[in-house]
């Protein structure tokens, strides 16, 4: 399906209507999911950061480097694998 909208920039009401039409078509046909979508509330995000900090301190005590990319990636993988 193809749709062409012509917008008259001198007609503010027409611009609003064109936006409504484009939004309607996007809602109906434009959703493409490329993978998991992760959303966190502020409280959940804070809890996740606290857990990360605790695990980083444990890793440092065990001689690991918690500031490295590998440690952060492993933690992120663990979090993202919990998302349904």
Together in a domain, 48 and 72: yes
User: Is the per-residue pLDDT at 84 higher than 70?
Assistant: no
pTM summary value: 0.52
List, for residues 17-43, the tens digit of each pLDDT value: 888 888 888 888 776 665 666 677 899
- Per the CB < 8 A criterion, the answer to whether 49 and 55 are in contact is no
Together in a domain, 49 and 67: yes
DSSP states along 30-54? -----S------HHHHHHHHHHHHH
Domain assignment of residue 37, yes or no: no
What is the number of domains present in the chain? 2
Q: Which residue range forms the structural domain that includes residue 50?
A: 42-81
The residue count for the chain: 84
Q: How far apart are CA 78 and CA 72, in angstroms?
A: 10
> Exposed, middle or buried: residue 83 (CB in 10 Å: 0-12, 13-18, 19+)?
exposed
């Amino acid at each position: 399906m193809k749709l062409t909208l012509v917008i008259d920039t001198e007609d503010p009401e027409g611009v609003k209507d064109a936006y409504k039409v484009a939004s309607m078509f996007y809602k109906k046909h434009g959703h493409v999911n490329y993978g998991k979508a992760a959303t966190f509330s502020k409280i959940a995000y804070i809890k996740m950061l606290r857990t990360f900090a605790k695990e980083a301190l444990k890793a440092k005590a065990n001689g690991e480097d918690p500031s490295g990319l590998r440690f952060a990636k492993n933690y992120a993988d663990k979090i993202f694998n919990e998302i349904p």
